[in-house]
Chain A
Amino acid sequence: MILEKQPLIFELGKPGRKAVDLPKLDVPEADNLVPVKYARTQKAALPELSQLELMRHYTQLSNRNFGVDTGFYPLGSCTMKYNPKINEDISRYPGLSLLHPLQATETVQGALEILYKCEQALAEISGMKAVTMQPAAGAHGELTGLKLIRAYHRDRNDLARTKVIVPDSAHGTNPASAAVCGMEAVEIKSEADGSIDLAALKAAVGPDTAALMLTNPSTLGLFENKIEAIAKIVHDAGGLLYYDGANSNAIMGIVRPGDMGFDVVHLNLHKTFSTPHGGGGPGSGPVGVKEDLVKFLPNPRVQCNAGVYSWITSEKSIGKMQAFHGNFGIIIRAYAYILSMGGEGLRRSSEDAVLNANYCKKMLEEAYDSPFDRFCMHECVLTSLKQKPYGIHTLDIAKRLLDYGYHPPTIYFPLIVEEAIMIEPTESESKETLDGFIDAMKKIAEEAATTPELVHNAPHNTIVSRLDETLAARNPVVKWEAQ
């Protein structure tokens, strides 16, 4: 049962209650260990609840949230596939979760083996020489990869290479990562189908080109079939190719970024390799590189000599991207997934993901505008242009989907498609689920024509209706104020 209102946790409980019993101090107590000038003057106003009050609060909150286990979640570019339960269990084994990152290597051989073997598996899948597991998310991987590219050019004393070419269809993190790496993002216009305009690319490359960042399949869900020509143009100009792995779920076992000509790759373990998104992390964004860039990878890396694992460092390394060894708990889950699927299962997953997206595209292209007359990869882009005459926009369709019990697709992205609706079903979903979603989408198209107000005022069945985002930004209330 979902209650109409759920108080803030600060509004629950009362002074004197507690949610856990702590042990008594078992050593003699000493006084004045903290000098008065350093001591806290006012206790933090944290909640005081019984354990049951606390559990009910969070259970109510969880009931007001929607995950992949709740229902269909076709959020384009996010690969909301099923999160296998055994992987959750494994990541919590005491022998894996209760390890200190600075323990002596002889006491953590099992953990090092996981890091080493997961690196090797990802290198095989992406066609790269070596992989670092340190980056904590996709954007963190992008930043790591660009730093590796800068280090590569710097090492060759090729100091003018500070520009990163990014197509206008790219994820927002691409130009942002370039900026945070102290480089200049140069945006080039894509063709209408989101593919690279070779003439524009040729005009953009030069002695200042550090890299081209590319997602393939593109953010429109289409495979860039000119990739070999693109790689040649960038390499001939002395630049490197960076692969944004957000869309890797389409291609596992079929084509590898390394074989397409990419020099640096990041993969999102929380997308392609089934680890949960956690409501916005923790993710993991390992970065793979070709031979020439291995020496710049973050320190330390795991090596294996005659079955014994140890840490090694490189003098030319860019340094460190996290305090320790990356999001190990996430890496465990991804490696368990890879072992469960095997090479054959990963390929089958990609094929089914592509099949599901094309099926949705085909079944919806009468009710909705489908701007690209090609097979898509793991996601398809439709638009609401057919609904526009009725005053119905993409946002309205998304909100109406909530009433039908679906998480909406990604909307208004990619930016180069007007009123975009980007559907990524993933391979986890059955034909029955897809058919149900397709029916709902068709019904909404019908409602848009016949009862547009119903769609325009959606959602009707959620715990809150559309929220005032302008008010939130204009007058930010970002914390609770103790009375």
Chain B
Amino acid sequence: MTWSYLPHTVEDRAEMLAAIGVKDSMDLYADVPDSIRLQRPLALGEPLSESEVAGYFQKLAAANANLQEYACFLGAGAYDHFIPSTVAHVLGRSEFYTAYTQYQPEISQGYLQALWEYQSMICEITGMSVANASLYDGATAMAEAALLSCHVTRRNEIVIARSVHPNYRTVLSTYAKDFGFVVKEVDYTDGVTALDALAKVISKNTGAVIIQNPNFFGSLEDLSELIAKTHEVGALFTAVSDPTALGILEAPGKYGADIVVGEGQPLGLAINFGGPYLGFMASTKKLMRKLPGRIIGETVDKNGKRGFVLTLQAREQHIRRDKATSNICSNEALCALAATVYLATVGKEGYTEIASQCLQKAHYAQQALAAKGLKRTFTTPFFQEFVIKLSGNIAEINKKLLAQGIIGGLDLGQYYPELAGNMLLCVTENRTKEQIDTLVAGLGAQA
């Protein structure tokens, strides 16, 4: 049996074994005790050829309802946005995707420059002074921000709005629990976090305050006043931002946020059944040396020529070892590259235009549903997602929509018992008027 991924011929192996001075490649495993060796072949089946593997996955792919065939109105942290063709073409260059981390800067200048440009663009859209070169996803970026805040303030309470993505809150609890940090939640009023509700929960023990904007319900939070209130007790404020929405919403840095994190998937990454995604993280200059993950810095070579290197590595796990406050090593570099190609492609004007179209189309859909008698649950301003109350069973309604080529919204009852019967809908710029009208007709029939 031979494999295209294994180059050795029978003669190659024989020559190499002879050079080493052994007869059989198993002689090289002399250190492995017999008592623990696997005495049978791995039960993984016969090897498949390239076309057989492709055929197998084509069959599995056909068993799924994909977003090319179905119009998706499901958001909730993963979004069907337009992806320019340039992204796949740049990511497909194997000088990028088959490389390791840039430990040898002389032969990694291309990637280092691209990641430095990524950091610059993230700072631009968030209004912050420094960004790292990526974390795993939005949820883990948020958890890292919370841990960082508690470590810096030497406090042990994390206050988070209930209007933050429920899965993000679960990840936060999972991360915070083993540090003994206490997570307190602030309830929502009319779909947003009220200032007095936050004021009641925060105290001098609060290290981190976390607000998502637009929040899980799609509504816009009043970051300016929430940040001011947070700073009154000396806590650090983390904004969880949707990078698409920042095309038209004020940069959190302008309001005085200490840390801005979020899910970078809307920036040119396929929706991919949930991953790989991109956690972005930006902060004030003051927190730069506390940030987790990799940071690229500009420098010069010995001839004075501009170049880029991994920098501030004294923060990182391979130096700090047991003193580390984050253990991240491999991150999501290629996804960061996708995001930077995306942002450069849509450019200054396109970035605003896409956000504006999401806003417009979502409001068109909401108005049309309201006209059919399907009112919004909350009245606060929203971006591209909104909540409506339905009378029927949501799973059943979504089944009917599926038959019309539509993936309907999220059943909020699974996450918020008090919102049973409510559906979270998302309308991105990728939805056409025709698709929206079909959704409205389908849901309208339920009213």
Contacts and interface: CB of A to CB of B under 8 A. Distances in A.
Tell whether A and B belong to one assembly: yes
A136 B273 contact: no
A374 B250 CA distance: 63
Interface in B292-351: 294-303, 305-309, 311-314, 317-335, 337, 341, 343-351
A311 B250 CA distance: 39
A69 B106 contact: no
A482 B60 CA distance: 48
Interface in A7-41: 8-10, 15, 17-20, 22, 25-30, 33-35, 37-41
Nearest to A13: B347
B294 to A, nearest CB: 7
Interface string B98-115: 111111111111110110
B67 to A, nearest CB: 4
A431 interface: yes
Interface in A352-375: 352, 354-356, 358-359, 362-363, 374-375
Interface in A288-332: 298-299, 318-330, 332
A478 B311 contact: yes
Nearest to A261: B36
A431 B272 contact: no
Nearest to A336: B53
Nearest to B334: A278
B359 interface: yes
Residue in A78, A254, A279, A467 with the greatest tally of chain B CB atoms within 10 Å: A279
A172 B299 contact: no
A276 to B, nearest CB: 5
Contacts of B147: 180
Contact of B321 (A25, A176, A351, A472): A176
Contacts of B95: 62-63, 65-67, 69-70
Residue among B59, B272, B314 having the largest count of chain A Cβ atoms under 10 Å: B272
Contacts of A27: 360-361, 364, 433, 436
Contact of B28 (A62, A276, A355, A467): A355
A319 B176 CA distance: 11
B61 A93 contact: yes
B353 interface: yes
Given A67-B99, A147-B178, A427-B6, A462 B107 contact: yes
Contact of B60 (A83, A96, A429): A96
B391 interface: no
A125 interface: yes
Contacts of A256: 38
A175 B170 contact: no
Interface in B127-174: 129-131, 133-134, 136-140, 147, 165, 167-168, 170-171, 173-174
A124 B44 CA distance: 8
Contacts of A463: 106, 109
Interface stretch (A106-114, A196-204, A234-242, A385-393): A106-114
B171 A329 contact: no
Given A46-B347, A340-B50, A125 B42 contact: yes
A136 B140 contact: yes
Contacts of A44: 121, 124-125, 246-247, 251, 348, 351
A408 B104 contact: yes
B406 to A, nearest CB: 12
Interface string A171-195: 1110111111111110100000000
Contacts of B369: none
B276 interface: yes
A147 to B, nearest CB: 6
Interface in A106-164: 107-111, 113-114, 121, 124-125, 127, 136-140, 142-143, 147, 150
Contact of A49 (B15, B94, B344): B344
Interface string B59-72: 11111111111001
Q: How large is the interface on A (under 10, 10 to 19, 20 to 34, 35 or more residues)?
A: 35 or more
Given A280-B100, A469-B311, A472-B297, A375 B30 contact: yes
A255 B37 contact: yes
A19 B345 contact: yes
Contacts of B337: 279
Contact of A465 (B26, B301, B349, B360): B301
A95 B68 CA distance: 8
Contacts of B294: 280
B90 interface: yes
B258 interface: no
A362 B16 CA distance: 10
Contact of B348 (A47, A281, A427): A47
Given A320-B170, A324-B274, A325-B274, A175 B322 contact: yes
Interface in B8-51: 8, 12-13, 15-17, 19-22, 25-33, 35-38, 41-50
A136 B136 contact: yes
Contacts of A329: 270, 272-273, 275-276
A109 B63 CA distance: 6
B94 A67 contact: yes
Contacts of B327: 139, 142-143, 173, 176-177, 179-180
B86 A20 contact: yes
Given A228-B35, A354-B28, A465-B305, 10 more contacts: A19-B345, A33-B360, A34-B249, A99-B65, A110-B62, A138-B330, A254-B38, A281-B334, A465-B303, A476-B130
24 contacts: A35-B220, A43-B348, A45-B348, A73-B100, A88-B92, A104-B402, A114-B60, A125-B42, A136-B276, A137-B328, A278-B332, A279-B337, A280-B101, A322-B274, A323-B168, A342-B45, A345-B1, A352-B6, A355-B8, A358-B28, A359-B16, A479-B116, A479-B130, A480-B120
